[in-house]
Amino acid sequence: MKVGILMGSKSDESKMVKAKETLEEFEIDYEWRVLSAHRNPDQVVKLVTTARENGFVAFICGAGMAAHLAGVVAAHTTLPVVGVPLSGGALNGQDALYATVQMPKGVPVATVAIDGSQNAALLVLQMLGIENKEIADKLAAYKSEMATK
């Protein structure tokens, strides 16, 4: 079981690192990749169309501006996709937010706040916790600890 953490550009890594750290905290395997929906479309499609047989259970996709990555991933898989609109550009992430939430019918992308990669990881963990009691218990402890801080 692993989660794909994808971002459109190397410069997005600093905004996506919280997703990686959160999955590590919960001991969930992940693959961390820089793949642009525009510059590497064939690689994106190859990864996503073979994802299930390669052990992926979900994708977290961070991209800015036009933010097509999450939609392209969602178009090629039935696995859950969480989009993270990233800040930057002339509209400081609002363009990416609108692009990420405006998916067409039949291509769902769960969307978190601008630069919200930690919440994206937590959302994936909550989905996994539906069937995995160990993850559900760790999430309950995590939230309990968060409440006491």
Domain ranges of the chain: 2-148
Q: Find tokens 């859950």 and name the residue.
A: 80
CA-closest candidate to residue 101, choices 115, 84, 80, 77: 84
Architecture label for domain 2-148:
3-Layer(aba) Sandwich (3.40)
Residue 65, CA distances (Å) to 31, 62, 122 in order: 23, 11, 24
- Pairing relationship of beta strands 56-64 and 2-7 according to DSSP bridges: parallel
Task: Name the stretches of the chain with pLDDT < 70.
Answer: none
**What does pTM read for this prediction?**
0.96
| pLDDT of the residue at 137 | 97
Give the pLDDT confidence of 58-98 residue by residue, as tens digits. Answer: 999 999 998 999 999 999 999 999 999 999 888 999 999 99
